[in-house]
Amino acid sequence: MIDDVFCKIIHGEIKSETVYKDDDFWVIHDINPQAPVHLLIIPAKHFTSLEDFMEGNNNGLLGKALVIAHKVAHDVGIAEKGYRLILNEGEYGGKLVPHLHIHLLGGKKLGPKIVG
């Protein structure tokens, strides 16, 4: 079993504030929010990177992740004014947890900058 924090959450070893879950994805609150709403869309199956989706028959899950992001944005009330999706990939992309995940941020005007 992979031993990253998101796998531990999915396997019930660490508690999280879950907003949505199904057989393929969990959506949880980020523990270090960068916006009033900062959620993480996490595949239930461990994928280290986008490259992992290219193996087997997993590429349909990426589309599903975006559909879930849209649904959850509506559910938490940020869809009308807008939100941002961020996927950090690799060391230079700023990925901190070796489990693919998408950040969903909103609840305030985020502005055009995404890097400092």
- Residues forming the active site: 101
Q: Which of 17, 21, 5, 33 is nearest to 105 (CA)?
A: 33
CB contact set of 88 (below 8 Å; sequence gap of 6+): 94, 95, 96, 103
**Using an 8 Å Cβ cutoff, are 45 and 74 in contact?**
no
Tokens of 106: 């909103």
